[in-house]
């Protein structure tokens, strides 16, 4: 079965819900003019899968979706509630208030153009075919992709990794620090999640912290101009067709009260990257060896865009050249907007990107703002 829509939105996280809200504001009707599909079992985007110890007091910040504040959905005294329950509750109420009619559980297998006989992917056509498990084939004139990064955890390849007899896991797999009690944990990564998990784990067992480059901590408050500088750096990269860079490399790691305490406990003594992994630990180039039971790869994520591969959006260096007001439009295929990619990867950036993508795509498709 095939269904036709002006626009299909893939993903119902912050970016996808923002896009849906702004499409409605422009007069489009869900299930008639556009459809939002999401593969998760319920509302909440990637938030519903976060570890239990990530609470509203330890998370960086949950930015409001357009038109409805997060605070109004919180019960009194819920400041320590797990983000994995509080944020999905907010998203669920948001979807209902604005009647976004997200269709779940729908997994997008591939997006491509089809030849006239419908048998193979072709070049640029008028209609995109979104082939799914759970909703059949959706034919659309425009696509807003908000799949984020959660589905693509990145673990670098190191010699000997397959010989390690202990446990290896990624941030995505982390649940509680207590499961590592009595084991030595090597935490790899220099981002915010890495130091947060390092702090937690170090409270119950011994740890070694390893990063590729020397981490830079910031002691001063994170000002708006710092955020703008970080976003501008990433936007410049994607407009030039380069893969998005790390925001932490510009902003540094905020040295808050918890991390100051961790530093005082000696936890933040960073080691450079080891040369290889052995069956019972890691070894550096100078021969130094650290026995280990667990390697936690807090090494980030990559954009989840494999379903768009037939469209050949990537350039020779692996990046996608972006254009448009907020760098959400794919330069080689303006029917497609990527939100939650590059400068819109943050929650506040995803809000703005959803608005820009909705406005630019409806304008390109000639959809009237007065449609009701």
Selection from 333, 336, 332 nearest residue 357 by Cα: 336
- The residue-averaged pLDDT of 107-128 equals 72
Looking at the chain, the whole-number percentage of residues with pLDDT higher than 70 is: 92
pLDDT at 126 over 90: no
Selection from 181, 212, 158 nearest residue 293 by Cα: 181
pLDDT at 110 over 60: yes
Element (H, E) at 87: helix 83-97
Half-sphere exposure of 295 (CA within 13 A, CB side): 30
- Token readout for 64 is 């409001």
- The residue-averaged pLDDT of 135-160 equals 95
Residue 6 pLDDT level (bands cut at 50, 70, 90): very high
Residues 6+ apart with CB under 8 A from 91: 12, 17, 43, 44, 45, 47, 65
Residue 105 pLDDT level (bands cut at 50, 70, 90): very high
- The residue-averaged pLDDT of 62-69 equals 92
Residue 118 pLDDT level (bands cut at 50, 70, 90): low
Longest CA–CA span in the chain (Å) reads 70
Per-residue pLDDT at 244:
86
pLDDT at 224 over 80: no
pLDDT at 251 over 80: no
Residues comprising the chain, all counted: 372
- Per the prediction, the chain carries an average pLDDT of 90
Distance CA 320, CA 90 (A): 32
pLDDT at 123 over 60: no
- Token readout for 140 is 């659309």
pLDDT at 200 over 70: yes
**Stated pTM of the model:** 0.91
Contact 299, 156 (CB under 8 A): yes
Residue 369 pLDDT level (bands cut at 50, 70, 90): low
* Strand ranges, E, within the chain: 2-10, 34-37, 107-112, 128-133, 137-145, 167-170, 185-188, 207-211, 217-218, 253-254, 270-272, 276-278, 281-283, 289-291, 294-297, 322-323, 329-330, 336-338
Residue 372 pLDDT level (bands cut at 50, 70, 90): very low
Contact 15, 150 (CB under 8 A): no
Residue 116 pLDDT level (bands cut at 50, 70, 90): very low
DSSP-derived secondary structure letter, 50: S
Distance CA 318, CA 325 (A): 22
Residues 6+ apart with CB under 8 A from 249: none
- The residue-averaged pLDDT of 78-104 equals 94
Per-residue pLDDT at 19:
97
- The residue-averaged pLDDT of 282-293 equals 98
pLDDT at 311 over 70: yes
């Amino acid at each position: 079965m095939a269904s036709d829509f002006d626009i299909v939105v893939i993903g119902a996280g912050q970016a996808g819900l923002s896009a849906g809200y702004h499409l409605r504001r422009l007069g489009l009707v869900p299930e008639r003019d556009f459809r939002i599909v999401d593969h998760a079992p319920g509302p909440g985007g990637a938030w519903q899968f976060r570890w239990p110890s990530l609470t509203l007091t330890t998370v960086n910040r949950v930015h409001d979706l357009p038109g409805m504040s997060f605070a109004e959905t919180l019960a009194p005294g819920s400041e320590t509630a797990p983000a994995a329950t509080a944020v999905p509750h907010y998203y669920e109420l948001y979807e209902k208030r604005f009647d976004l009619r997200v269709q779940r559980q729908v997994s997008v297998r591939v997006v491509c153009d089809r030849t006239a006989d419908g048998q193979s992917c072709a070049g640029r056509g008028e209609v995109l075919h979104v082939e799914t498990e759970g909703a059949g084939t959706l034919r659309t004139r425009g696509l807003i992709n908000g799949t984020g990064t959660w589905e693509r955890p990145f673990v670098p390849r190191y010699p000997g990794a397959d010989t390690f007899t202990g446990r290896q896991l990624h941030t995505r797999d982390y649940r509680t620090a207590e499961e590592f009690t009595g084991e030595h944990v090597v935490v790899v990564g220099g981002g915010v999640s890495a130091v947060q998990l390092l702090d937690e784990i170090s409270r119950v067992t011994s740890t070694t912290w390893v990063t590729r480059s020397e981490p830079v901590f910031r002691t001063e408050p994170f000002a708006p101009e710092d955020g703008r500088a970080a976003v501008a750096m990433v936007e410049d990269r994607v407009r030039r067709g380069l893969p998005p860079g790390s925001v932490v490399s510009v902003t540094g790691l905020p040295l808050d009260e918890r991390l100051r305490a961790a530093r005082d406990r000696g936890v933040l003594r960073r080691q450079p990257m080891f040369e290889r992994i052995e069956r019972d630990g890691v070894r550096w180039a100078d021969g130094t060896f650290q026995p280990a039971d667990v390697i936690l790869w807090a090494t980030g994520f990559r954009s989840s865009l494999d379903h768009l591969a037939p469209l050949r959006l990537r350039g020779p260096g692996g990046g996608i050249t972006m254009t448009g007001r907020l760098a959400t439009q794919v330069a080689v295929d303006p029917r497609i907007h990527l939100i939650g990619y590059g400068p819109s990867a943050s929650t506040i950036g995803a809000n703005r990107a959803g608005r820009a993508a909705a406005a630019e795509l409806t304008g390109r498709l000639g959809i009237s703002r007065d449609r009701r």
